[in-house]
Amino acid sequence: MIVFVSGAVRSGKSEAAEACAIRLSRGGRLHYIATAQATDEEMAERIRRHRERRAAQAACWTVWEAPFTSREIVVSLQVGDVVLLDCLTAWLADELFFSESWKTEESAQATARRLLDEVRAWAAACRAVVIVSNELFSGGVPDDPGTFRYMKTLGLLHQQLVAEAAVAAVVECGLLRVKKGRWPQ
């Protein structure tokens, strides 16, 4: 099962996704795939706050921090486990820009297909994968070709994941709106 949670930066989507993953786990093991890397002070602070929030939760997370290999994650999963990927936006950016696969449409799409295959492998190996991603599409078309290719690739990846997801929701100003399926209770 895939649950897709999107929203703007600082909308509350991570908190909603964490609560969803805990509910879905039914006491089973929880895996937190943290894709952000501390490339500047602001990101280091955001990562610190996420770590503190996880530590304060009653749930016990196995945390996989970037850089990670998908293979080591998938082999560690059990049928009753729940995976939280936070967030797809940072994961795709790292994969596109660190490898320079953003430079051509073909390599960007190949990267997106690989990430999609990795999510599918996790979903096949456990109870649920909860995916967090940012909505970046209301601000118009960027002038920079690399940013534009990244946004197009992310948009196509969002469409594919939502098509395969059992549940898709958007968080705006801390308010969750379910767009597809039923939010886990």
CATH code (residue 137): 3.40.50.300
CA dist 21 and 115 (Å) reads 20
In this structure, what token pair is assigned to residue 160?
A: 């594919």
In a domain, 65, yes or no: yes
Digit-coded pLDDT (tens) for 9-41: 889 999 999 999 999 999 789 999 999 777 789
| 185 within domain boundaries | no
Q: What is the pLDDT of residues 55-102, one digit of tens each?
A: 766 668 898 988 888 889 999 999 999 999 999 999 999 999 888 778
Residues in Cβ contact with 40 at an 8 Å cutoff, skipping those fewer than 6 apart: none
Give the predicted TM-score (pTM) of the model: 0.90
Structural domain of 114: 2-180
Tally of structural domains, the chain: 1
Give exposure, 96-124, as e/b (b: 16+ Cβ within 10 Å). Answer: beeeebbeeeebbbebbeebbebbebbbe
- Whether the per-residue pLDDT at 165 is higher than 90: the answer is yes
Just list the catalytic residues. Answer: 50
What is the pairing mode between strands 2-7 and 175-180? unpaired
User: Three-state DSSP class for 70?
Assistant: helix
